[in-house]
Structure 1
């Protein structure tokens, strides 16, 4: 469940309770919900939650050598809207689809893998890889260079299925392209799957430490940042609890 949606549902419950003999409880719940929504929308809460995620991994250092492969995580294309309109619909995190073009140009021998199926609870047959491939081709990546993994439903399956598909060899260097806030959990999951990848973060939501206590982006933007960060922190805790990562907040590998 999306955290902000949960607050909205609590607000609805509070209204219902106020029409019953539990009116006192309903008023307290309504007040609590309003305070939490105000904090999410009009305070730096979202920035404070996002910053430790986005700053966990630095930008990739090209001086370390040429990569053998590039793994691009899905999460940009809305498969339902794409299927409805018969054309790719990018809903967010477009940087995940733009960054591979520059990497492909710079490293012409690197293998390029896009991994993403459908995260829908009810299967519809629409696969993100199928709709993302034309976008990647339009950015200049030849179709014959693209390797598509189209069955995964989440980051854990991204790692497992991609490793199975490309069979990385010992000593090979693979980049992992995903949103900066999503990188800690992604790296942790790939490490647990014994697929050694290097972070190539994109799609930043903050400029840096100077934005921590910024009140310039409030309202809907504040809600969006808080919601994104909360979902990622919940994902980190859940991944650690079920054993899909070895650390709560994975970071750069120690040399």
Structure 2
């Protein structure tokens, strides 16, 4: 009896080990794919520039990573890639600050007229950013989109946008400290494969 129990335990350990190895391999392959896409920039003229939100407040000030996204979106707007900016982001779980509202303020302070900014204030994930933005586009008859976020985040956002059937281009924000400080070793990049795998499991890729 004890031998059978030992054999079962051994088989379970081997199964668990195999699953761990498989999981690590899947993670590595996804990470390599994402790494190959982070610097892809396909900017072109579109109907609107979408800036994806992030946490607003950080260390008693504005999150510099969020500001980098907005700054790049404003730069593209000034270069006339689109006449409209769409700021997408709901309330932060940390303090309830609305991301779209905060991004609008940053853009206005940089010289963008309020009339050139649309807000999507309800989303709490990348999937919802794009889903709710698609609803805005349909209501306003906007056909094309230029997506702005940070390099580590862009590949996953692009996959979701493609799955939703959006006509889009991408332009990652180049000056974010969330990317430039550690790049592929940053916790932001290292969690992206998990986010993509989760989206796939939920049917959102």
Decide: shared fold, TM above 0.5: yes
Partner of residue 58, structure 1 = 40
Q: Are 2:196 and 1:225 equivalent residues in the alignment?
A: no
- Structure 1 spans left out of the alignment, 5+ residues: 1-48, 207-216, 246-255
Partner of residue 44, structure 1 = none
SS, match of residue 198 in structure 1? strand
Deviation at residue 193 of structure 1 after TM alignment? 2.2
Deviation at residue 94 of structure 1 after TM alignment? 3.0
Paired residues of 1:97 and 1:136 also in contact (CA < 8 A): yes
Once the two structures are superposed, residues 91-139 of structure 1 have per-residue CA deviations (whole angstroms, 9 ceiling, x without a partner) of 524320101222221218622100001252x8x6431111221111111
Change (3 A) 1:141 1:157: same
Partner of residue 156, structure 1 = 127
Please, what TM-score do these two structures have when normalized by structure 1? 0.58
Q: How many residues align?
A: 172
Q: Which runs of 4+ in 1 moved over 6 A?
A: none
Aligned mates of 1:71, 1:147 — CA distance in 2: 9
Q: Are 2:205 and 1:234 equivalent residues in the alignment?
A: no
- Structure 2 spans left out of the alignment, 5+ residues: 1-29
Aligned mates of 1:99, 1:182 — CA distance in 2: 15
Over the residues paired in the alignment, what is the CA RMSD in angstroms?
Answer: 3.0
Aligned mates of 2:157, 2:40 — CA distance in 1: 15
Partner of residue 177, structure 1 = 148
Change (3 A) 1:155 1:109: closer
Deviation at residue 181 of structure 1 after TM alignment? 1.1
